[in-house]
Amino acid sequence: PFATVSGCDLRVPLVQGGTTTYANFDYAASAPALQQVTDRVADLLPYYASVHRGAGYASRISTDCYESARGSVARFLNAADDQVVVFTRNTTDSLNLLASCVPGDTVVLDVEHHANLLPWTRHGRRVVPIADTIEETIQRVVAELCSKPAALLAVTGASNVTGELLPLERLAWIAHQCGTRILVDAAQLAPHRRIDLRTTGIDYLAFSGHKAYAPFGAGVLVGRLDWLDAAEPYLAGGGAVRSVAADGVEWAPAPQRHEAGSPNVLGVAALAAACDALAELDETTLIEHEQYLTHRLRYGLKTVPGVHFLRVWRDSADAVGIVAFTVDGFEPGQVAAYLSAEHGIGVRDGRFCAHPLLARLGVDAALRASIGLGTTTADVDRLIDAIATLVERGPAWNYARTEGHWNP
Ligand code: PMP
């Protein structure tokens, strides 16, 4: 493994009896906590107290921790001076928040996760169908932005289905030429690549703590202050105001404006610890490690008859550690169940909250194996061997789901 994460040595039961070490290939859904994150949370727990609302020592420590977390996120992303860090629950929450602030139409691609598709529906959403190549997809974006002004271009940093990357700097440049701002859904990108908001020109960015090696419950929206300050608060309530009188309210500026209610100090501290830890990793070796494992998995699976990979663009040159595939003769759900029950391997199956993309790729469902900081070569080989074993048995030999038991 590249770093120590929780659950590395988890023992899981096998249907044939006995136990094995869990092989986690579901980092893209939620990544286990980094050791530095676990330590930071343990350190803060004794001081866990009300944030912004108490004068006691523990409250002051908790408040400091919460506020300094904004700096960790801003440093991690090299945020510009006019960009603020708003803490949310997750990427979905961040994107819905931004959707409530956009003063005009939003242009999106149909490659997106539902979280970056559905919030815009209510806000003048214009969907651009992707093409077979990134180059042609970009031309379609240009045509759309030129045809009618748009306030925002909302794009994914890395596809949650295939891991493929879009050229963000170029898209930001194109958007800006058209007077449009750009939002990046970095839920899958932030855990794998360093993102520099200043040099790429990205205006808004969202990601979730739980995909970036912190626990559930905290996410971020980082972005330019003016829209966030001009919009109505996302939630109305305590903490979002400067003053309230019987007949009116003066809202606080962002980020407090959009953070009403008692904040999730442990979640935010964990997210900040993850950002600090990820920022410390050497990006080149991190990418090399991940690409080695991803290529090993891809080449291994390629040798198994009937395995087909999903790919969005013919000309995509780079991807994060995600391999999506189908196996002829087997339902993805059956394969996933078999991998878990017989081999203690966790993958994701289904449509990955990206129904329009799966429809475009012509599959009802697929399997997704995603790689992260705790993945080892041995894990990869186990997954390849398990799929090869299943295919050797043949499609007639199958699993049926009965009340949570697995019947060979
Ligand atoms: N965008 C992408 C690309 C994702 O992969 C996900 C999670 N699968 C989300 C958004 C939503 O993240 P969350 O559920 O943490 O809000």
Q: What is the mean pLDDT of residues 290-299?
A: 98
Q: Which tens digits make up the pLDDT trace of 126-165? A: 999 999 999 999 999 999 999 999 999 999 999 999 999 9
**How far is Cα 269 from Cα 375, in angstroms, rounded to an integer?**
25
Q: What is the pLDDT of residue 96?
A: 97
Q: What is the pLDDT of residue 97?
A: 97
Which atom of ligand 1 is closest in space to residue 219's alpha carbon? 15
Region of 400 please: left (phi>0), alpha (psi -120 to 50) or beta.
beta
> Which residues partner with 308 through β-bridges?
326
Whether 49 has a pLDDT exceeding 60, the answer reads yes
Whether 402 has a pLDDT exceeding 60, the answer reads no
**Cβ atoms of residues 8 and 1 within 8 Å:** yes
Q: What is the pLDDT of residue 355?
A: 95
Note if the bond before 255 is cis, omega within 30 degrees: yes
Residue 355 C-alpha to ligand 1 middle, in angstroms?
14
**How far is Cα 253 from Cα 17, in angstroms, rounded to an integer?**
59
Element (H, E) at 279: helix 265-280
Q: Which tens digits make up the pLDDT trace of 214-227? A: 999 999 999 999 99
**How far is Cα 13 from Cα 5, in angstroms, rounded to an integer?**
21
Q: What percent of the chain has pLDDT over 90?
A: 90
Q: What is the pLDDT of residue 406?
A: 46
* Confidence category of residue 403, pLDDT binned at 50, 70, 90: very low
Enumerate domains of the chain plus CATH numbers. Answer: 11-30+282-407 (3.90.1150.10), 37-280 (3.40.640.10)
Q: What would the two tokens of residue 311 be?
A: 């790919």
Instruction: Output DSSP code: residue 5.
Output: B
Inter-residue long-range contacts of 170-174, CB under 8 Å, 24+ positions, other chains counted: 170/138, 171/138, 171/141, 172/200, 172/201, 172/202, 172/203, 173/201, 174/138, 174/141, 174/142, 174/145
Q: What is the mean pLDDT of residues 352-368?
A: 96
Q: What is the pLDDT of residue 54?
A: 77
Residue 185 C-alpha to ligand 1 middle, in angstroms?
8
**Cα-Cα-Cα-Cα dihedral sign, residues 171, 173, 176, 177:** negative
Which atom of ligand 1 is closest in space to residue 92's alpha carbon? 16
Residue 305 C-alpha to ligand 1 middle, in angstroms?
32
Q: What would the two tokens of residue 270 be?
A: 């964990």
Q: Are strands 11-13 and 19-21 parallel, antiparallel or unpaired?
A: antiparallel
Which atom of ligand 1 is closest in space to residue 94's alpha carbon? 16
**Cβ atoms of residues 101 and 230 within 8 Å:** yes
SS3 at position 164: strand
Q: What is the mean pLDDT of residues 168-174?
A: 98
**How far is Cα 366 from Cα 372, in angstroms, rounded to an integer?**
20
Q: Which tens digits make up the pLDDT trace of 378-398? A: 999 999 999 999 999 887 665
Residues with CB under 6 Å of ligand 1 are 90-92, 113, 115-116, 156, 160, 185, 187-188, 208, 210, 353
Alpha helix (H) ranges present in 45-192?
57-77, 91-99, 134-147, 168-177
Q: Whose CA is nearest to atom 12 of ligand 1?
A: 91
**How far is Cα 172 from Cα 178, in angstroms, rounded to an integer?**
10
Q: What would the two tokens of residue 399 be?
A: 């699993």
Which atom of ligand 1 is closest in space to residue 158's alpha carbon? 3
Is the confidence metric ipTM above 0.90 for this complex? yes
Q: What pTM, to 2 d.p., does this model score?
A: 0.96
**Cβ atoms of residues 351 and 264 within 8 Å:** no
Q: What is the mean pLDDT of residues 294-308?
A: 98
Residue 342 C-alpha to ligand 1 middle, in angstroms?
29
Q: What is the pLDDT of residue 399?
A: 56
Q: Whose CA is nearest to atom 4 of ligand 1?
A: 187
* Confidence category of residue 407, pLDDT binned at 50, 70, 90: very low
| DSSP conformation letters of 19-60 | EEE-EE-BTTT-PPPBHHHHHHHHHHGGG---SSS--SHHHH
* Confidence category of residue 404, pLDDT binned at 50, 70, 90: very low
**How far is Cα 309 from Cα 328, in angstroms, rounded to an integer?**
11
**Cβ atoms of residues 377 and 1 within 8 Å:** no
Q: What is the pLDDT of residue 401?
A: 45
Q: Which tens digits make up the pLDDT trace of 18-35? A: 999 999 999 999 999 999
Could you confirm whether 178 is annotated as catalytic? Answer: no
Q: What is the pLDDT of residue 394?
A: 83
Q: What is the mean pLDDT of residues 269-287?
A: 96
**Cα-Cα-Cα-Cα dihedral sign, residues 83, 123, 90, 187:** negative
